[in-house]
Chains A and B, each alone.
Chain A
């Protein structure tokens, strides 16, 4: 029997993307994000655009290759999220 897939909210997916970039040292290519956040290419582009608009990540080009870096706002957001996660966890709520 295959385990039931857990629903991920838009916020959860955005958080997963930001965490993949952080895990990779704050800078990461789209393929790593795609695998790390478990997304299809179309959805990945959509979420990356949204995160860029929110100024949580920025796109940089190196040797014609696109990379995504965490902005200061993105780092602050992740720190805040860690606090909220600990708060929620204390009440038995999983984010």
Chain B
């Protein structure tokens, strides 16, 4: 029971990664048919996001196995874990950056483009999780704007998806003060990806 509880965040992250790959695949399929660059950006974004999550799942499994074998977390393993976390965070920032670029391409007025510029400068800040929150916050707001214009279920599900992902990063950010928020964050992230999966299922099955 305890092991299941301990592994559930990893399972949730893995499911989120699979959904991310499925959406990335569908975006690529769309790009091949329409040659729309926005879909290519979406494809790269979701694939990078999926890879980053798979990386974290593999690394965590590896560390758990090592700790069971060695009995404690050796400095070399801890350093490797820190490096993997850095790669994970950077990969996520790249993915969210691609989503941001995608929404910026759609926002054609100069004012909207200028408003996003400071977010790119922040990418080199050391507080990577905070940058992820900012980028994802922008993506979520843009998806809300899109929802306000389109007013359909698919746009609502995308908005929900990005909003839940944004919330999950807020939870991850506050794991410093409350560790239990990590599980809440993983669950929220999974709900976000499930929203995107429902959207994909709806658009690909209705004629």
Contact = CB atoms under 8 A, between A and B. Distances in A.
Interface in B28-67: 29-30, 33-36, 38-39, 42
A50 interface: no
- Chain B interface main SS type: helix
Contacts of A82: 207
Contacts of A90: 146, 150, 152, 154-155, 157-158, 199, 203
Interface of B: 26-27, 29-30, 33-36, 38-39, 42, 102-103, 106, 142-143, 145-146, 150, 152, 154-155, 157-158, 199-200, 203-204, 206-207
A59 to B, nearest CB: 23
Contacts of B203: 83, 86-87, 90
A86 to B, nearest CB: 4
Contact of A11 (B27, B33, B102): B33
Given A10-B35, A11-B34, A89 B155 contact: yes
Contacts, number: 78
Contacts of B33: 11, 77, 80-81, 84
Interface centre among B30, B39, B106, B206 (most CB of A within 10 A): B30
- Chain A interface main SS type: helix
Contacts of A85: 34
Interface string A69-95: 000000001011111111111111111
Given A9-B35, A80-B33, A84-B33, A92 B154 contact: no
B38 to A, nearest CB: 4
B29 A91 contact: no
B26 A87 contact: yes
B150 A79 contact: no
Contact of B39 (A9, A77, A93): A93
A94 B33 CA distance: 14
Contacts of B26: 87
Interface in A36-56: none
A47 to B, nearest CB: 14
A32 interface: no
A72 to B, nearest CB: 15
A87 B106 contact: no
B157 A11 contact: no
Given A84-B29, A86-B203, A91 B34 contact: no
